[in-house]
Amino acid sequence: MKIQNPIIWADMPDPDIIRVGDIYYMVSTTMFVMPGAPILKSKDLYHWELVSYVFNTIEDNDIYQLKNGKTAYGKGQWATSLRFFNGLYYACFVCHDMQKTYIYYTDDIEKSGWERYVINNVFHDMSFLFDNNRSYLIYGNGDIKIVELKDDLSGIKDGGVNQLLFSTPSENIMLRCEGCRAYKINGYYYLLFIEWPNDGNSRRRVVCYRSKDLLGEYDRKILLDDDMEYQNQGIAQGAIIDTPEGEWYSILFQDHGAVGRIPYLLPVSWEDDWPNLGVNEKVPESFEIPFEAYDTKPLIVSDSFNHNENKLDLRWQWNHNPEEDCWSFTEHPGYLRLRTQSLATDILTARNTLTQRTSGPQCAFSVELKTEGMKAGDYAGLVALQGNYGAIGIRADENNLKRIIVSKKGSDGRQIEEEYRLFADSRILIKIEFDFRNSSDIAKFYYSQDGIGWIKLGSDLHMTYTLDLFIGYRIGIFYYSQKAAGGFADFRNFSYESRQ
């Protein structure tokens, strides 16, 4: 089977991979959207489908409820380590907003909502390492440390290993080694990292440290320094994995503009007990792998919202924790009904924004909106969600006057209305088109009364990947009020179109 890179042209950063028999599982970062820590499944390392989430929510506090000016934007779940050990699946990550490390576990990886242990410490970008029935976390940024866990992984082992392993170079380095992935292979301990130098190619690269003694001296080698000729954005940070037949592969990601951080598959060979990533130290655009294609469900989907129970498809995620009693498929059959029970100042403070990823090279999303239940001060529609967001929808003003508007985040951080038109009907179709080709990173906004003739509204949004949210652009269905809670908006026939 021939694979083409990238293997997923959508935001799927910080991958870690395990193999159980002939099945591969991968975890990624979704930060503040809920449920989170998605688990993907494959049998060929190329085609992946979503099967579960590690957690439904992390915490239920002001940070994750978007209350009192607090948010988890740019934080939440980061760089999860995934392992299978003694019959259980483990996932570990840090929440910098909570200043805690979470270790989740389950005996069924394809079931969402795992049990967990909470450690009141930050083990940044950690990796599990299991060795001789002892359990460790290897973690850090520049100063790489190791800490031993209790036998049941419920916390730090009293009197166990807890020390600095080594310090990585700091001269001419903008970002010292982090993003650890730890392995023991054929008698060697391998620690894979990313680092970002200021000299040389000045881009992210893969670095490996190797030792035969876990606590001993480590040798260092740069394994990969390549951007596939894309804006000097190095392809780095991820995992290596073997096949049942003993072949090796790696999945790494690349910062790829507004669409987010996208994964690549590389062959791995071994020389003098060092892993060689790629082909001639480059990421191949395509290559053959000895698998039969694995039939998977798509990672982004359309949705009629015509459901008999209040259960979301796995591909949907909320912006922060949802207000569970404020959404329904059954209250108005055939529609997603969103209600308000709290106020918001703008889209980024609104509860119950329902999201999916966007995809490259181009894609478009549309939905039908019914507005009979909207009250003065309400705003409902579609948003291109990131720090520099743009939205199209209906705003209800005083005297039940409704307007079609495009709104964006202004340079001062406040939400501004760019263009509007009066709207006298109770039904409208709205659409956002995304163009990521050649890093154009443009979003365009449209509305229609019949779904055939589309009218462009507002100026194009020049999308930028910013670290305040730290995610690739998502499509979001939103509804909130600035004046009085208690209204509702109805959506149906959400449509996703992937374009080349």
The DSSP secondary structure of 286-336, one letter per residue, reads EEE-S-PPPP---SS--B----SSS---TT-EEESS--GGGEESSSSTTSE
Nearest CA to 464 among 387, 360, 349, 361?
387
Residue for token pair 């090279």:
361
CA distance linking residue 459 with residue 446, whole number of Å: 11
Question: CA gyration radius for the chain?
Answer: 23
Per the annotation, the verdict on 178 as an active-site residue is yes
CA distance linking residue 184 with residue 451, whole number of Å: 57
Residue 25 · residue 37 · CB < 8 Å: no
CA distance linking residue 51 with residue 39, whole number of Å: 6
The strand pair at 378-385 and 336-339 is best described as: unpaired
CA distance linking residue 199 with residue 17, whole number of Å: 31
Amino acid identity of 381? Answer: G
3-state secondary structure of 193: strand
- Conformational region of residue 439, where left means phi above 0, alpha means psi within -120 to 50, and beta covers everything else: left
Burial class of residue 323, CB neighbours in 10 A (0-12, 13-18, 19+): middle
3-state secondary structure of 347: helix
In 3-state terms the chain splits into helix, strand, coil percentages (rounded to 5) of 5, 50, 45
Catalytic, out of 16, 125, 178, 346: 178
CA distance linking residue 307 with residue 266, whole number of Å: 40
In angstroms, the Cα distances linking 310 to 76, 79, 336, 341, 486 are: 26, 31, 9, 18, 20
Catalytic, out of 11, 14, 433, 441: 14
| Residue 125 structure tokens | 């970008």
Give just the sign of the alpha carbon dihedral 206, 211, 215, 216: negative
Residue 300 · residue 494 · CB < 8 Å: no
Active-site residues, by number, are 14, 178
